[in-house]
Structure 1
Amino acid sequence: MPAEFQYATGTYNSLLYKDSHTPKLAAKRSANSLHILFTFPSHSLHIQIGFNSDSLQIQFRLNLGSVQIKII
């Protein structure tokens, strides 16, 4: 199989993902949080939503190669 079509698998915070040339999506849900991970060939977008009885926290993290942008 040509190198451009080979896949690598891995985990991030126990989320399974497959690294390829097309976008991938993984999600993990618990009682008080939701974690969504979009992976692309060279970057990724993490969205984490946490909540309890009186507050809501949304966190975005964008990884562009060696640059990381985090919004809380």
Structure 2
Amino acid sequence: MSKTALTRRITRIRGYPRTDGWFTPEGSSQALRIGRDCFPSRQDAAADADHRRAQKIERLRIQLAKLEELLHAD
């Protein structure tokens, strides 16, 4: 799972891939979307997590620039 990798770590889970593109973890009734929430390999999950981190950093830089602009506008 790579969604929580933004703030924590990549989690390995066991379960069953379904034919409709979803993945059901063992002992759970909730499903995860393959390619969005979970990935077939750790390398794929790591690449997605790195991409998400880079996007978050860019959004934070934009937000910081806007705040600095407001600070200097006074």
Q: What is the TM-score when the length of structure 1 is the normalising length?
A: 0.25
Higher relative contact order (CA 8 A, sep 6+): 2
Larger Rg: 2
**Higher helix proportion:** 2
**Higher strand proportion:** 1
Q: What is the TM-score when the length of structure 2 is the normalising length?
A: 0.25
